[in-house]
Structure formats: C-alpha cells, structure tokens
Amino acid sequence: MRSKSWLRTPTGAALLSFLFPGLGQAVAGNRERGAIVAIPMAAMLGSGAVAFLFDRKAVFDALIRPSSLTMFLLLDLVVLIYRIWAIVDAYFVASGRQPRPAASRRPSKSAAAVPLAILLIAAIVPHAALGAVDMQAQSAISCVFNPDAPCFFQGGGNLAAGETVPVYTPEPTDTPSGSDPSVVPLPSLPQYTFPTLPPVAGGNTGWASDGKLVLLMVGADQGVGRWSLRPDTMIVLEVDIASGRAAMYGIPRNLENVPLGPEAANAYPCHCFPYPNLLNALWLDAVSKPKAYPYPGTDFVRGFKALEGAVGALTGLQVDGAVVLNLMGFVNLIDALGGVTIDVPTELKDSQYSRPQDGKDIAIDIKAGSQHMDGLTALEYARSRHQDSDYGRMVRQQLVLKALRDQVHPCSLVSKIPDLLGAVGQAFWTDMSLDDGPTLLALMEHVGTGNLKGYELTPDVTGATYDYLTVSSVNTIRNIVAHGLDGVPAGISGGGAGGGGGLSC
C-alpha cells in the first residue's frame, strides 16, 4: 500500500510516465488523460513491431537511407519533447495543479523539483545518444556509398590539376623468378579478341537480371611506405540468388596479360594488361590514362571500373560491382566486432612483416590451432606472405572471410551499429547503388560457409606459365569459374529472385 501511495506522488507519477508516457497520469487518478497521453507511444511501438516482424527489409532499407535517417532524427526530437511533456504533465497531475511560470513558484518548493530534473535529464540522454548514432550512420553511409571515392581516399576521387600518380615499380618479390624470360622462355603475348570478352562490367543497376550477384572484393594496400593505392587482395564472390549457393575465387595480384574489359580493350595492342605489368598495377594505370580507359566517373572510380572489367574478362563473369576494404579499416572493423576466432592450420612466422600503420618491419608468430585475433593480428595473418607466398596468403584470406561469416550474421549487425559505424565509414567503399543495400544485406544472410566453395586461381590450377597468362590459361580459368557452383549445396534459406523480391532477414 505504501508503494502504491508513493507512486501517486508527483515524483512517483513522473517516474511512471518516464517509463511509459501516460502511465503516471493514470496512476495519479486521471485515467482518461493517461490513455490519451499514451496513444502516440503505443502507436509508434506497435507500428515498429509490425514492421520488424512482417517487413524487415523495409526496416533495413530505412536504416541505410540518409533521407530516412534524417526523418528518424526529427522523430527522435519530437518523441523527446513528447516524453518531457508527459513527465512534467504527470508530475503536475499528481500534485493537483497545472504548471505555472517558474517565477510564481515559491522557493521553498524548489527542492521538490530536483527528482523531476533528474528524470528529465535521464530522458534526454538516450535520445541524445540515439541522435548521435543517427548522424554517425549518415556519415558512414555517405562514405561507403560515395559515388566519387571513399572517405579514406584523399582528394575527392580526382587528381588535382597537374598532379601525377607515382610511377609503378614492381617489388623484387612481385614477379616470380620463373617469369623472367632469361630463365624460362615465355610464350609470345596473347592476342585476345573482342568476341571472347563478357558484357560491360560494373555499375549495372539491373545486376539481378541474370540471377546472380557477382562482387569483386578488394583489399586495398594503402598506407605508410606504400605507393598510392594497390589492390593486393582480389576475391570474386559469386552468389546464385535463388538458391544462395556461392563461390569465392581468389585472383592472384601478380597475374600478367590479364584481358581488359571491352571499354579499355584498345589500351594495349594485345587487348590485355601486358607483361611485365602485374594485375595489381591496373588501377594505377587506369587512373593515369583516362583516354585509354574511358570509364565514367572520377579517377578513383575509373581505376576500379577498369579492374572490374578486367576481372570480368578473366573469369567470364558479369561483375556487378566492387567492395573495397582498406587495411586499417579492416583492423578497426575486426576490433569493433570484438575480434575473430580462426582455426589456424599451420603456424605462421614472418620476421619482416611491414606494419601498415607506420611501415616498420616486425616479427610475427601466429601459432596453429584455434586463435582469437584482434584486428591487427587478423590483418597480419591475412597479409603476411614471406613464409609462403602470395598464393599461401590467398588461402589464409579466405579462411578469415569464412571465419567472419561463421561468427557474424549480417542481420544481427543491427545490434552492433554503435560500435561498427565508426569503423565502417573509414573501412569500406562500394560502387553498388545505395538502393541495393538492403537487398545485398539480406542476400548475404542466406550465404553460409556450408554453401560456399573457395577456389584459388593460381598457376598450378590454371596451367599458366607461372603468372604469365595465355589464351589457353584464360580459357581454363573461365571453365573453372563456369562450373564453380557445381555441387555446392543450397543456401541457408531460399533467397527469392529478381533483385529483392522476398529477400529479408
């Protein structure tokens, strides 16, 4: 009884309406007023629950649209004002009087307002925090889906007037010794023909029309001691939309004579990026030669469109877009996720690992077995290549991606938004449309490691002379990819088709 009587006091009523608007008014004796005050909050909660249960795709769609997030920000402010009014109103309903100007109140009553002030501050804090998250989300989304360049790339995507890109000089370990013509005679340059090239790659808004999603996932090596931006990690993800079957193809960074996409095929007489150029230098070549690579967009975008076109021509796939991840962004992302646990099959040692944050060489030693790694350790494991080779790290990179997929479900990331937003904006960039965001997120939920097969398109698989491609080795690669989904079981659940219909978490 004593507790019930306390809840009818002004402070008790204010506390109840702090918990749910209108509850304090009802307990204070004015049930009709309490019901009226509660209607807006009940309506918002009810509609939100219905949307989440029956149309989650629309919820995710709203969460990544800047216009929707701006509306949420305004709604957050309106709800805050509404809650403050409900708390104050409950306080005065319980006190038996309506609010009066502060000047008319007697100073002796000021102490009674202290609990009310505390409740008001407690109501403001979560709304202010939600507003901060909203603005951070808008910033992250604008970075990830920026049509010109990611936020981690300086210059807005274009070279300044008179600016030149660094001259590409392969590292001594970039070119295998066997590809030196003085050691092993190499075949003549291939002559790729236009009929063998696939349709235009990248920027395809109707990407689901062929029933597949094909993304080029790029790890961009950019940092202290590195020249410009270098796509050292390239993995093609192919997903069958209807079944969720998926395959990952590791593309060696040091491939030579990779065929170019149709738009840029005339950049070189062989219709390829010719020896001694390595594939990871194509981005830079396209940035510096806009006439040879007539792709639309900024210099930054042109480089990736050229890369998408070349990888599409190499694999025979219609590449729908690229997802780019930079090194330190990867570190911050893993840390925001709380780390990643990887089953390391073989101990990894490297006495000359170059740290991306300062270019300093350090020694690393990652033991075999189950290892929970923070961001820097996971990057070391995925990036080191001195113990084995570029091909060895390609295998490790796919292990990292599969471990992340096992431990992180795309739809569950909503609960980690506050921790992830700061990392995502400085980690990712894609040339896919913002409109496709919810569909891509939902589709990824249907791809699990049980229905994901990995390939490394290395010379021992493709029959190339080391990394020196010919028409024959390119045809071998295309044949492998053409049958990449054969035997892969269906996904976690049906994905639907048509680029979004039926896709939800």
Is-contact 258 306, C-beta < 8 A?
Answer: no
Rounded to the nearest 10 degrees, how much is the dihedral formed by the CA atoms of 470, 476, 482, 485? -130
Q: Is 495 in contact with 243 (CB distance < 8 Å)?
A: yes
Map 33-82 to HEC letters: HHHHHHHHHHHHHHHHHHHHHHCHHHHHHHHCCHHHHHHHHHHHHHHHHH
The tokens for 278 are: 């390595």
Q: What's the pLDDT tens digit per position in 378-421?
A: 888 888 876 666 677 778 888 888 888 777 765 556 666 666 77
Lowest mean pLDDT among 132-136, 191-195, 492-496: 492-496
Q: How many CB atoms lie within 10 A of CB 461?
A: 15
Q: CA triplet 191, 195, 201: central angle to 5 degrees? A: 100
Nearest to 280 by CA among 313, 247, 303: 303
Report yes or no: 220 and 323 within 8 Å, Cβ to Cβ.
no
pLDDT at 364: 86
Please compute, for residue 162, the number of CA atoms within 13 A of its CA located in the half-sphere on the CB side: 0
* Whole-number percent of the chain with pLDDT over 70: 77
| pLDDT at site 237 | 93
Contact 214, 319 (CB under 8 A): yes
Are the C-beta atoms of 244 and 490 separated by less than 8 Å? yes
| Spatial contact of 69 and 137, defined as CB atoms under 8 Å apart | yes
More confident residue, 468 or 193: 468
Mean pLDDT of 156-178: 57
User: Which residues lie closer than 8 Å to 15 by C-beta, 6 or more apart?
Assistant: 7, 24, 115, 119
pLDDT, one tens digit per residue, over 250-264 is 898 889 899 998 888
Position 219: which residue type? G
Structural domains in the chain, sorted by start? 2-98+113-144 (no CATH), 177-482 (3.40.630.190)
pLDDT of 313 higher than 70: yes
Average pLDDT (273-279) is 89
Banded model confidence at residue 119, pLDDT cuts 50, 70, 90: very high
Query: What is the amino acid identity at position 300?
Result: F
- Asked if 229 and 221 count as a contact pair (C-beta separation under 8 A), the reply is yes
DSSP line for 299-363? HHHHHHHHHHHHHHHHHT----EEEEEEHHHHHHHHHHTT-EEEEESS-EEEEEEE-TTT--EEE
Tokens for 199, please give them.
């349709």
d(CA 301, CA 430): 10
